[in-house]
Structure 1
């Protein structure tokens, strides 16, 4: 599908949570890391890794180790190459503060980042010792493949209540992670290759932190969930993880025209490598790197400083398939069973796209009524009446709310469901919908947010220094969700003794089971009916 010229910066495929929080003034950015004296409990905070000794910190119920290199800095001649091994070090490396985030524009990080030396990870464990190795959860952050950092996610609650070793990582973003060019090996997959390097590091080092390298769950949200899905289809990830969790993202993620901003073309989250390389060639020309020799073009781009490339970062936020790392479009691999067969937990939030629509007009202004009317015609044309029959404007508090429902169903719910249908033919799948109507940081906002994109993250993490304020019922829901996720990471089944049962998703059933997760209410929900998925499947078939 046609996409904007990569040399022109465009609004990405999703607005991130921390960007939204900055818009509505709900939270200040800052580090959530607390450190203890380096001399306290030295036997627990100094760990031997395959690269050398690291000294972390002890804070109450958790041990934390930050800024551990899992690959060499991808700078100079290593820019746009597969990750190389990290150099070992002598002595004891300080691991009490996070590393720089990967290069990105301002958004989740105040001022952004200009660092390419960013391939580091963080390990959080319960402070108490355990007689048995703990399950490992390797978390891939979201941020639309253009922003974010592992240290923005404080997993202390997940580690302690879930009795797990939690690893959060950085991986290359934007054009540093997903650029494609003719003649450039690994085009469009550098960020995914970084993730595999981190997964291999976990295999070598999990035991040193009390984790079980034979029980690793790869998990992520949004871009992190898409990444997890891609790793299911990647031969290079075989044997590196044992379960997969995909929160609000799948390999079938696609969007209609105008979904996130006016004039946005319809597109898919994963693209053929030829498309990515064509974009890269056009960008190289814009940046003055022209030659009949592909190697000369690549070397010209490698010589450009980060600040020259940051303005066009967001032109490359869709990983490529048809590559060595991702040979086939994942949905094709899933349909034939040619993927890494592990148990899967997958789901989305009930009101995903309110987070996108709330800033549709720029700043903190949601989609106006006039814009809604115009966008409906621009997007659907002669099909507008059919769409309005399913989504009558009178059923919603505003045009913005109506558009959010359309975008939620067509973009998020549909793709998540289709991926689960395909996977469930070969592996156990458990699916959920997070349905808290008033999650943390949903107010104040210029429209009703509901269970917005990323709102489920508060159940597991403190984000960018912000701790959620829960009601008693929300706290019980958070505890139950951590119990579900931890049980899944331990056994491949989220069912917990004494908790509400969670049957498997059965794609052959008339109504495949999906677990609704809401304060005070956990039980079945008919996601396909609730989100009009039959309509969108028919619409997609007619548009193909």
Structure 2
């Protein structure tokens, strides 16, 4: 079981050395419990052509952001069937009353502060409780997103250090209509620990059709969320601490929105999925959630050289406390700051210049005492059911970036293998993944298997020793947003499953994809209700392939050559 140290870990677990972070061109067997399902709403969700994105954009925007556009802005009026009771649009939280909006079968409460603004002297401090307010707070628009880079390194429009806000989306039916509280899903967004916000994801369909309460969260990013320095008490994991503060808010306030604080599912994708993994092994998150969904973000993931882009350095989600502190000292010197007081006096724009150095969560801290992969290996994590998996072609969108400037020829494929893995291993990999007529697709398959699927299966294998775990693979190779000059076939690429859960402006699912989206949403919300995705879905090591036309069990380790990759260690 998870240990609960009372002091910081001064000697963190030994783990593979963590290299300095690159600035990658990140595109970013229980018997199932039956549930009565409400009719599922047809989907009109994400098809955005990626062809419209410029080459410069591909180099600077995380993969998840490539998919996301601004979500539709909810209105505050909706026709209601005769005799239906009005939804409760003003609710009382532990800090004061908030009023929201109602439309299309959901109530929305946006921009609710879950912690005090981490500004001035509170920069690089643990999140403090939000101040109470008098009267009724208008919760009708999202709060600012956390500071992230925009054009020319300036803070992105709409971003601020004052950003610790969350959004609640709940079905319109209130307790008078439905006495039993609903399960709660807390969503952690991806974005390389550098970009994104909770408001970019519209969970109306999940809340309405899945009959759950959904909470989307902002947490500090980049240098503001993961900076380390000897002058800081527990450095390098403020973004993870923010997530825990949001979960404490949910525990205190879910019932006010018709949610059940005893049924909280923590769900995230990419670095949001890695954040879920971090919370599974953090002693400070004990009792704050009861189920976990990890999408494309396992504890064991790491990227060899070149995997995140041409000449990109190796990278992983985690860095030791000592490494983060050393980087912090160097960063302080670059701003001519001898101490933390000086750094706290620097402007947001000045500090943001350090952003690319700090997008890894520090372990060896009170928040994250152990390297997450080591903790899983020792069974040192919270005992909650887990649903986790990847997409079938995770790495194709990254590989496509190579082709933007220079197609991957057979010669370049061999060069990439040699510089990434060394000559001896490169020869073996080339035999396992021959370039054929599509060396770019071969390189993408190497990245998908080595970097995404097999590490995810390793994390799953270790957790499945102790908890119920179900694995999935999203496999719609015609997922929206497939066009990328020069026509590299993206397949079921990284983050391509997100439009099947969240509504995004300009993206449309066809009939078979809408059916798949309804099925996936039902699996996910069944899991939030019971700890099982339902149907004929057996526990790990079976992996359920989710695709148009129906689910199908597969042996993911065999299909993605994980035995081969184990032999190369």
Scaled by the length of structure 2, what TM-score is found?
0.86
Cα distance 1:32–1:516, how it changes in 2: closer, same or farther (>3 A)?
same
CA deviation after TM superposition for structure 1 residue 176, in Å: 0.4
> SS at the partner of 1:63?
strand
Distance in 2 between residues matched to 1:268 and 1:189, nearest whole Å: 15
Cα distance, 1:455–1:188 mapped onto 2, change above 3 Å: same
Mapping 1:499-538, distance limit 5 Å: 501-505=536-540, 512-538=541-567
Q: Which has the higher contact order (CA 8 A, sep 6+)?
A: 2
Check if 1:74 corresponds to 2:118.
yes
Partners of 1:471 and 1:417 in 2: how far apart? 31
Q: 1:327 maps to what in 2?
A: 369
1:421 to 433, 438, 461: 461
Task: Give 1:357's aligned residue.
Answer: 399
Q: Cα offset for 1:377?
A: 2.2
**Match of residue 121 from structure 1:** 166
Tell me: CA distance 1:502–1:103, structure 2 relative to 1, closer, same or farther (3 Å). Answer: same
Query: Which range moved further: 335-344 or 415-424?
Result: 335-344
Tell me, in whole angstroms, the C-alpha distance in 1 between the residues paired with 2:67 and 2:495: 15
Distance of aligned partners of 1:367 and 1:346 in 2 relative to their CA distance in 1, 3 Å threshold: farther
Which residue number in structure 1 is paired with residue 88 of structure 2? Answer: 44
Matching residue of 2:37:
none
Deviation (angstroms), 1:281: 1.2
2:214 is aligned with 1:166: yes
- Which moves more between the two structures, 232-241 or 405-414? 405-414
Take 1:114 and 1:384, find their aligned partners in 2: how far apart are those partners?
43
For the pair 1:147 / 2:195, whether they are aligned, the reply is yes
Shift of 1:378: 1.4
- When the two chains are superposed, the root-mean-square deviation of aligned CA atoms in Å is 2.4
Give the superposition deviation at 1:87.
0.5
Partners of 1:430 and 1:341 lie apart in 2 by 14
Distance apart, 1:206 and its partner CA: 0.2
Of 23, 26, 30 in structure 1, the residue corresponding to residue 53 of structure 2 is: 23
The alpha-carbon deviation at position 533 of structure 1 amounts to 0.8
Contact 2:210 2:521 in 1 (8 A): yes
Structure 2 residue 515 is matched with structure 1 residue 476: yes
Contact 1:358 1:365 in 2 (8 A): no
Classify the secondary structure of the residue corresponding to 2:88: helix
Distance 1:202 1:421 in 2: 30
- The answer to whether the 8 A contact 2:18-2:318 is kept is no
Tell me, what secondary structure is at the counterpart of 1:44? Answer: coil
Distance 1:480 1:366 in 2: 39
CA displacement, residues 100-159 of structure 1 (integer Å, 9 cap, x when unaligned): 10000138x994554100000000011123221000000000111000000000001111
SS in 1 for 2:422: helix
CA deviation map 1:163-196 (0-9, x unaligned): 0000001000001000111131221110000000
Q: Distance in 2 between matches of 1:525 and 1:195?
A: 34
Between the two proteins, the alignment pairs up a number of residues equal to: 513
Equivalent of residue 3 in structure 1, options 16, 19, 25: 19
Distance 1:371 1:486, change over 3 A: same
Gaps of 5+ in 1: 291-296, 506-511
Q: For the residues of structure 2 that align with 1:527 and 1:347, how far apart are their CA atoms?
A: 10
In 2, the alpha carbon distance for the partners of 1:182 and 1:174 equals 18
Decide which moves more: 266-275 or 151-160: 266-275
For normalisation by structure 1, the TM-score amounts to 0.90
Distance 2:51 2:382 in 1: 36
- 1 CA distance for matches of 2:286 and 2:371? 17
Q: Return the alpha-carbon distance in structure 2 between the equivalents of residues 323 and 355 of structure 1.
A: 34
Residue by residue over 1:423-459, the C-alpha shift from the partner in whole angstroms, topping out at 9 and shown as x without a partner, is 0000000000000010011235530000000011111
Contact 2:49–2:483 (8 Å) recurs in 1? no
Q: Deviations over 1:17-59 (max 9, x none)?
A: 9996762699894342212159998761111111111111001
Deviation at 1:267, TM superposition (A): 3.1
CA distance in 2, matches of 1:461, 1:27: 11
SS at match of 1:431: strand
Shifted more, 141-150 versus 126-135: the winner is 126-135
CA deviation string 1:320-375 (max 9, x = no partner): 111101111122222222211100000000001112122236xx547532543432
What do the CA deviations read for 1:200-238 (whole angstroms, capped 9, x no partner)? 000000000000000000000001000000000000000
Q: Map Cα deviations across residues 226-274 of structure 1 (whole Å, 9 max, x no partner).
A: 0000000000000000000000001111111110122222232212111
C-alpha deviation, 1:315, in angstroms: 1.3
1:491 to 519, 522, 530: 530
Q: Which residue of 2 aligns with 1:348?
A: 390
Q: 1:310 aligns with which of 348, 352, 366?
A: 352
Distance of 2:51 and 2:455 partners within structure 1: 26
Unmatched runs of 5 consecutive residues or more in structure 2: 1-16, 29-45, 58-65
- Tell me, yes or no, if structure 1 residue 217 matches structure 2 residue 217: no
Q: Do the aligned partners of residues 424 and 39 (structure 1) sit closer, same or farther apart at CA in structure 2, a change above 3 Å counting?
A: closer
CA distance in 2, matches of 1:244, 1:213: 15
Aligned equivalent of 1:251: 299
- Asked whether the equivalents of residues 67 and 495 of structure 2 are also in contact (C-alpha less than 8 Å), the reply is no
Deviations 1:471-514 (A, max 9, x none): 22111111111110011000101114xxxx10001xxxxxx200
